[in-house]
Structure 1
Amino acid sequence: MRRIEKAREPASLADLRGTPGAAWSSVHGTQRQQMREHAFKEQHGLCAYCMSPLPGPPSAEGMKIEHFETRALSPELVFDWDNLLGVCLGDVGIREGGGEHRKRYHCDTYRGHLPREEQRIELNPAAFPPDVGSMFSYTNQGEMRPAEGLEPAMRASVEAQIERLNLNIARLRRNRRDVIGALRSQFQKKAPRAARVKELLTLASTPDGAGLLPPYCQAAAYYLEKKLRQLG
């Protein structure tokens, strides 16, 4: 998970706030598409939660608009752009079939199946402070954990976020492991110099010419920042 710099809100949101009786269910396709395009651009093509790549160009078949503070718990934030994030489908297309199938859900799709009182999460990637990117760590096997040195209350919030978004399912762990593994492989072939690690860190943290970030870039950045500290 990484910090998201929110840009100017889509014009449709201001229109919706000014429409008496407007509800999320009444938002039409063109308005939702405008939100998807804005979120895709400001998130550089990644899911706000798991950092999986969102298919481009953005569409209803490839991404959703998620309310960080849920509509049920915070109806006053339904049309607040800082509360809206672009997220992946979270395996929503798999066959419904009870608990075993739901274990494959992640991000807001998984959270939406939890009891309402368990759906709240506290670390909005679009809010600062804290910088959400500094709240999580990643093992070489791709497991997402709380960062070291967090105070107990913050650590509990991070653990709850990982659990309630189901961010350690096998597929996500494997994808993050592969990203970190590719970097480790480079360093096993040739001992890294600080200049090379900094170059790779820049590549992992900087959008490319199309404005896109590498998938799971925060896992790569965490590993590279750790490597830099080891190199002194």
Structure 2
Amino acid sequence: MRRIEKDREPACLADLRGTPGAAWSSVHGAQRQQMREHAFKEQHGLCAYCMSRLPGPPSAEGMKIEHFETRALSPELVFDWDNLLGVCLGDVGISDGGGHHRDRYHCDTYRGHLPREEQRIELNPAAFPPDVSSMFSYTNQGEMRAAHGLEPTMRASAEAQIERLNLNIARHQRNRRTAIDVLRSEFQRKAPRAARVKALLELSTTPDAAGLLPPYCQAAAYYLEKKLRQLG
């Protein structure tokens, strides 16, 4: 998970806030599409939670708009752009072993199946501070964990977020491990030097010409930052 720098909100949100009685259920297709396009651009083509690639161009078939603070718990934030995130459909993990099992859901799809009192999460990728990029660590096997050195309350929040979004399903761990293994293979062929590690870190965290970031780039960035510390 990485920090999202929110851009100017879609024009439709001001219209919705100014419409008496407007509710999320009354948002029409063109307005939802405007939100998807804005979220896709500011998130550089990645799901706000799992960091998998969102299919482009953005559409209802490949992504949806998620309320970080749920509509049920925070109705006053329904049309607040800082509370709206672009996320994947959250159920693609069911292909791992087959069967429509809830334990294969992830991101807001998984959270939505939890009891309401367990749905709250606290580390909004679009809020700062804290910077969510520093709240999580990744093992070389692709497991996502709370970052080392967090104070107890923040650690509990990070662990709850991983659990309530089901971010350690096999598919995500496998894809994170692949992103890290590409780097490990390079360093096995040639001993890493700080300049090369810094160049790879910049490549992993800088959008390409199309404005897209590599999927699971934060796992790669964490590995490279750790490598830089080891090199001194």
Scaled by the length of structure 1, the TM-score of the pair is 0.97
Instruction: Tell me if 1:164 matches 2:164.
Output: yes
Question: How big is the shift at 1:205?
Answer: 0.4
Give the aligned partner of residue 48 of structure 1: 48
CA distance in 2, matches of 1:19, 1:10: 15
Query: What letter is aligned with 2:102?
Result: R
Change (3 A) 1:94 1:222: closer
Give the aligned partner of residue 181 of structure 1: 181
**Cα distance per residue 1:132-190 (max 9 Å; x no partner):** 00000000000000100000110000000000000000000000000001100000011
Query: What letter is aligned with 1:140?
Result: N
8 Å Cα contact 2:54-2:62 kept in structure 1 = yes
Please state whether the residue corresponding to 1:157 is helix, strand or coil.
helix
Q: Which runs of 5+ in 2 are unaligned?
A: none
Give the aligned partner of residue 17 of structure 2: 17
* Identity %, equivalent residues: 89
Query: What letter is aligned with 2:149?
Result: G
Give the aligned partner of residue 88 of structure 2: 88
Superposed, 1:103-118 pairs within 5 Å as 103-118=103-118
Give the aligned partner of residue 148 of structure 2: 148
Superposed, 1:112-127 pairs within 5 Å as 112-127=112-127
Give the aligned partner of residue 78 of structure 2: 78
Where do 4+ consecutive residues of structure 1 move more than 6 Å?
none
**Cα distance per residue 1:27-54 (max 9 Å; x no partner):** 0000000000000000000000000000
Q: Which moved more, 1:100-109 or 1:142-151?
A: 100-109
Question: How big is the shift at 1:93?
Answer: 9.2
Q: Which runs of 5+ in 1 are unaligned?
A: none
Question: How big is the shift at 1:91?
Answer: 1.0
CA RMSD of the aligned region, Å? 1.3
**Cα distance per residue 1:61-111 (max 9 Å; x no partner):** 00000000000000000000000000000016959xxx9711110000000
Give the aligned partner of residue 57 of structure 2: 57
Give the aligned partner of residue 6 of structure 1: 6
Please state whether the residue corresponding to 1:85 is helix, strand or coil.
strand
Change (3 A) 1:225 1:94: closer
Query: What letter is aligned with 1:113?
Result: H
Please state whether the residue corresponding to 2:72 is helix, strand or coil.
coil
Give the aligned partner of residue 228 of structure 1: 228
Instruction: Tell me if 1:212 matches 2:225.
Output: no
CA distance in 1, matches of 2:210, 2:74: 35
CA distance in 2, matches of 1:192, 1:88: 35
8 Å Cα contact 1:92-1:109 kept in structure 2 = no
8 Å Cα contact 2:93-2:104 kept in structure 1 = no
